[in-house]
Amino acid sequence: MLQFISGKSPLDDLRELRKVEAEIDQVRCDLVRDARNQGATWEQVAQALGMTKQSAWEFFTDRFRIELSHRVETNTDLSEDAAMQLAVEETRVVRRRRTK
């Protein structure tokens, strides 16, 4: 078990733990995205994470959708048509990688 020996209070250690968990969550999402981009199935991702395929798909696709929405909202230089074309091209690239 991970133990914090900080000399601080348990509440300070809990705050630090929350930060570490957020960092681990981001790394986990990045690895799932990389695995999917390299052709891994949701079944393979779920098995590696010790969860069901449905749970993995729901959790990570929701997360990725939120991240994508944030990027779209912050990128006002892209027209609707250009954004749609970019999305189509990115989808094609991912599909090509999966068929290799």
Residue 67 maps to a domain:
yes
At 42, give phi and psi (nearest 5°). -65, -30
The predicted-structure confidence for 23-77, as pLDDT tens digits, reads as follows: 999 999 999 999 988 989 999 999 999 999 999 999 998 888 887 777 777 777 7
The total number of structural domains in the chain stands at: 1
Closest CA to 96 of 37, 42, 43: 37
Q: What is the CA radius of gyration of the chain?
A: 18
Residue 91 maps to a domain:
yes
Residue 14 maps to a domain:
yes
Tokens of 22: 């957020």
Supply the mean pLDDT for the chain.
84
Residue 3 maps to a domain:
no
- What domain range is 45 assigned to? 10-99
Residue 1 maps to a domain:
no
Residue 19 maps to a domain:
yes
Residue 28 maps to a domain:
yes
